[in-house]
Amino acid sequence: MSIYDKLNEPQREAVFHTDGPLLILAGAGSGKTRVLTHRIAYLIEERGVNPWNILAITFTNKAAGEMRQRVDSLVGFGSESIWVSTFHSMCVRILRRFIDRLGYDNRFTIYDTDDQKTLMREVCRKVDIDTKRIRERAILAEISSAKNELVTPEEYELNAGGDLSKQKLAKAYREYEAQLKSNNALDFDDLLVKTVQLFQTQPDVLENYQERFRYIMVDEYQDTNTVQFQLVRLLAGKYRNLCVVGDDDQSIYKFRGANIRNILDFEKEFPDAYVVKLEQNYRSTGNILEAANSVIRNNTGRKDKTLWTANGEGDKIHLRQFDTAYDEADFIAEDIQRQVRDGASYNDNAVLYRTNAQSRLFEEKFVAMNIPYKIVGGINFYARREIKDLLAYLKTIDNGRDDLAVRRIINVPKRGIGLTTVNRIQESADERGISFYEALMAPDLIPGIGRSASKLDSFAALIEYFKGQAAGESITDLLKEVIEKTGYVQELEADDKEDAEARIQNIDELLNKAAAYEESCADRNEEASLAGFLEEVALVADIDSLDESQDYVVLMTLHSAKGLEFPHVYLAGMEDGLFPSYMTIMADDGEELEEERRLCYVGITRAEQELTLSCARKRMVRGETQYNKMSRFIKEIPMELIETGHRKIEKDTEIPVQNTYAQAKQAFRAVPFSALQKGSQLRAEKGGSLPYQVGDRVRHVKFGEGTVQDIREGGRDYEVTVDFDNAGVRKMFAAFARLVKVEP
């Protein structure tokens, strides 16, 4: 039996169509990775394509690793010549060879988010931007958006026109780019932008890679941005054997620059494109898929397709509405414990939510109930202080032009080199047009350096010693020597013994990572290099830390969950104002709402066997109690697919909910807003009559002025509904709101 006989008909169609542009519309769980790997095998075995001429691009290291394993098992001999890579890894590999054509040194450093913020702080100081008024993060986001659209600092400045705010941002962008180049560093966006610039300005380099990659496959094409589109278009420009795989219904990264038009307009860009739809889902039950189909059909900007499965209908969708977010977290924690008692594993369950802030209540409940859990998207291992310190040493050893790395470690551990000395070194370097490290190598030429000269000599000698050792030592041994010679661990222990233990464990884990990198290089018959190691750790994403063999409940945002699947998924916080967000609803932006709906579709299709949707009538947000309606996305699911069970209103009191969805909605509306959870933080006492009435103008200390729409007499306090001019409609207790009547 052929390996292709196990594919369904559309999958075989996609595998066997090898020449020219091909668009594979692959619904959630439809086996797209299987199609891509079989297509690679078919190209090599049946079409005689050299493995060297095949490129497969995806978005995460996890996806690339999975694809690499499957390709190796299918293809066998010669598979190591196939490039299976993320966009960023591919670009780094190209730039390591040719970035000198753009005026950079090939041993460039890759800056992470923290490095970028540190650099931007310095940039803002130089161009006189008040970071209390414009945050570094906002400036970096604007620059990132410009780079994603291939807008240079010069073009950005021209586009700013007479807009003073844009002109300031243009200055910051220009200086930021100058500082990056001076430091011989690239940020993540640069990895793509510089590769496109390389191809656009160096035709021989472009032709080299066009000849190399005659067959190109791009996974998750709906997540590509403008610069990624241009990169792929240039690479495929000669042979046009471009296969893109994606699902427009799962395009959820607009905030990162993803352009859904890339997949929707693929046939406009390539009029001769062949299109295959993969609609059979192998992951989920029929009811889950029908719920997903029902929600996503409400979007207009999409390619028509309908997921189906041979897995059977399965359980109905569980819908639970609670009085408070505390009740919601209680229920989910108890439900997971019940499943585990019945024989399930903790890692069968995932709790997905719209915002990171929602994780707190679940963490508290899980800790109290001894439920093991992991938050995906928390503090990245490589962002921890001790790890960044040691990586800064390695960066300095590898690339002395990286001023940020040198400045980070010049007094770590403490050497008596203070901020005044550091500033004098930087001023001297700026005046002479050299790097920070080059300046400190000759302290006698730095005005006013005084007795610090000997300390700088000692530090420079240590770095030069490490550089000499790096040429002959393994990365693991070099890292051990850095830790030993600097006395880094001893200082940790001296500063805080309790804190030191956890930090030392992290350092040990970094050593493990270095050893694992060297082993993987040996397995691939590649030379392990310090630059290669730094490159690998720089490209690690949060999702890559998810260990599916460990038994814990996963907590993560819906954005982090794409590409994953779990037997039981809880979608928490399904309320208008939270999901979709209040800003989306108030903006009345159809495109934004469609993106939120796609995010809901992604969440639903993560579930294999069971899906629980939960919401709360009131939730504390930024210190204010908000009353929310059930999410409109829930209302888009047919009532016959849903069961409602029971829900808690008062502590220790269960109220049955009707079996039909319409009756459920009626029951939810019937519960008075005055019902408060026993033990709630709300302790307002109702006073006498209020100094304002319905229709009066009032002022709130935070929300400003508004008009009173409704006043209801609750059990403990008056509930006042106000339509604020800028903050929209808010419901609040009078005692807490402290509204002041505005006299006409």
User: What are the φ and ψ backbone dihedral angles of 697, each rounded to 5 degrees?
Assistant: -90, 135
Residue 316 DSSP code = P
Within a 10 A sphere around the Cβ of 71, how many other Cβ atoms?
Answer: 24
Contact 528, 517 (CB under 8 A): yes
- In terms of DSSP H, where are the helices of 605-744? 661-670, 734-737
State the Cα–Cα distance between residues 568 and 553, nearest whole angstrom.
10
340 Cβ partners below 8 Å, 6+ apart?
A: 346
State the Cα–Cα distance between residues 119 and 104, nearest whole angstrom.
18
- In terms of DSSP H, where are the helices of 634-694? 661-670
State the Cα–Cα distance between residues 302 and 485, nearest whole angstrom.
59
Contact 555, 362 (CB under 8 A): yes
Within a 10 A sphere around the Cβ of 109, how many other Cβ atoms?
Answer: 25
Alpha carbon distances (Å) from 558 to 257, 355, 555? 17, 8, 10
**Which tokens sit at 395?**
């960066």
State the Cα–Cα distance between residues 531 and 120, nearest whole angstrom.
24
List, in sequence order, every residue forming a beta bridge with 613; answer none if it has no partner.
Answer: 319, 571
User: What are the φ and ψ backbone dihedral angles of 220, each rounded to 5 degrees?
Assistant: 50, 45
Catalytic residues: 32-33, 219-220, 250, 606
**Which tokens sit at 439?**
């300046």
Alpha carbon distances (Å) from 328 to 217, 325, 574, 730? 43, 5, 11, 22
Residue 715 DSSP code = S
93, containing H or E segment: helix 87-98
At position 94, the amino acid (one-letter code) is I
State the Cα–Cα distance between residues 178 and 182, nearest whole angstrom.
6
State the Cα–Cα distance between residues 373 and 610, nearest whole angstrom.
19
